[in-house]
Amino acid sequence: MWDTKIPRSHPRYESLMIREKLVEGFKRGIVVPEGLIAHGRGECFDYLIGEATQPFARKAIEAAAAALLLAKHPVISVNGNVAALVPREVVRLAEIVGAKIEVNLFYRTEVRARKIKEVLLGAGAEEVLGVDDATATIPELFSERRRVSPRGIAAADVVLVPLEDGDRTEALRRIGKFVITVDLNPISRTSLTANITIVDNIVRAMPALIKAAEEMKGKSEEEIRNILSSYNNSAVISAALTHIRERLSSLASSLLGR
Ligand code: PTJ
């Protein structure tokens, strides 16, 4: 493992550790090779936003906590990358907001779905849907990608789908689900289609979402409704893009001044 070779003081230590978790997940059959590529794309956007939870992400996290707490039937959808990076956080968030956890894979195989279920049970989940019970279907999606649990995503009013593919996000919106995503790319089809887009790394966003939901539980329902109704996702995505533009402009200017 790298952590024996790379000192904690290494400037890219955190980032290398995240990579290592995904490589480990790949070797264990939890992450698909495409998941490693998807992570590389995410890393690039993480550089651009400054590898920190920015104010636009904090706004989206607050609104996401509100939507999950107000939901009658919230579901957290878990894919290979999410299971490799934040399994304990998924379980903790589900406990706080009373959500069901469902394995939902883009590149679905039954063997991998079962392995991901084991990871989540090992992280403390009491129940994991979407493996033996994925008998319902999302209309207009084809093959294995459409299969969901009748007690999970099929019945959900609010679905958290981190690192999701655009077709599926659009399909979930079409069947009336309120969709929350975590996606470092602010202009991915998923980011532009979701009701709430958290433009942040899943490894930072999940702990922040847990904290926000814990704190929000002490508020009245009216206060929580106000947080959600005053939220504007287009404004948040626009703020993410403006942040990237300003950050790059400032970096470019600082180089000229050297
Ligand atoms: O395990 P499976 O079969 O369900 O497959 C999972 C992947 C991620 C391969 C699948 O859902 C996929 O192909 O996703 P996409 O279409 O590549 O979208 C993933 C999005 O997540 C991209 O926009 C990435 O920028 C973003 N992303 C990658 N890593 C992170 C991330 N966003 C937040 N945090 C990350 N660590």
Q: For residue range 195-212, what is the model confidence (pLDDT) as tens digits?
A: 999 999 999 999 999 999
What are the angstrom distances between the C-alpha of 160 and each of 20, 91, 207, 233?
25, 13, 14, 15
Mean pLDDT over 148-157 rounds to 96
pLDDT at res. 133? 95
84: which DSSP letter? H
User: How would you label 46-56 residue by residue, b for 16+ Cβ within 10 Å and e otherwise?
Assistant: bebbebebbeb
pLDDT above 60 (res 4): no
**Residue-level length of the chain:** 258
With bands split at pLDDT 50, 70 and 90, how would you rate the model's confidence at 71? very high
Q: Which pLDDT value is given to residue 16?
A: 86
- Give the per-residue pLDDT at 234: 98
Q: Is the pLDDT at 1 greater than 70, yes or no?
A: no
The three-class DSSP label of residue 86 is coil
The predicted pLDDT at position 185 comes to 98
Indicate if ligand 1 lies below 6 Å from the C-beta of 41.
yes
* pLDDT, tens only, 168-198: 999 999 999 999 999 999 999 999 999 999 9
Q: What does DSSP say about strands 147-148 and 136-137: parallel, antiparallel, or unpaired?
A: antiparallel
Residue 145: pLDDT band with limits 50, 70, 90: confident
Q: Which secondary structure element, helix H or strand E, spans residue 137, and what is its range?
A: strand 136-137
Task: Decide if pLDDT at 224 tops 90.
Answer: yes
Q: Which two tokens stand for residue 62?
A: 């607050």
Which of 163, 179, 198, 201 has the most ligand 1 atoms within 8 A of CB, as the residue to mutate?
163
Choose the residue to mutate in 49, 76, 81 for probing ligand 1, maximizing ligand atoms within 8 Å of C-beta. 81
pLDDT digits (tens, 9 = 90+) for 121-136: 999 999 999 999 999 9
Q: What percent of the chain has pLDDT over 90?
A: 89
Which residue's C-alpha comes closest to atom 24 of ligand 1?
42
Confidence label for 12 from pLDDT (cuts 50, 70 and 90): confident
Specify whether the backbone of 163 is left (phi greater than 0), alpha (psi in -120 to 50) or beta. left
Tell me the per-residue pLDDT of 32-57, one tens digit each, with 9 for 90 and over.
999 999 999 999 999 999 999 999 99
More confident residue, 140 or 25: 25
Q: Are 69 and 97 in contact (CB under 8 A)?
A: yes
**pTM (2 decimals)?**
0.96
% of the chain residues with pLDDT over 70: 98
Domain ranges within the chain, ordered by starting residue? 55-241
Confidence class for position 143, pLDDT limits 50, 70, 90: low
Ranges 4-13, 87-96, 224-233: which has the least confidence? 4-13
Confidence band, pLDDT 50/70/90 cuts, at residue 223? very high
Counting from 1 in the atom list of ligand 1, the atom nearest the Cα of 166 is: 16
* CATH number for region 55-241: 3.40.50.12640
- pLDDT value of position 2: 47
Q: Residue 250's pLDDT is what?
A: 94
| Closest CA to ligand 1's atom 16 | 165
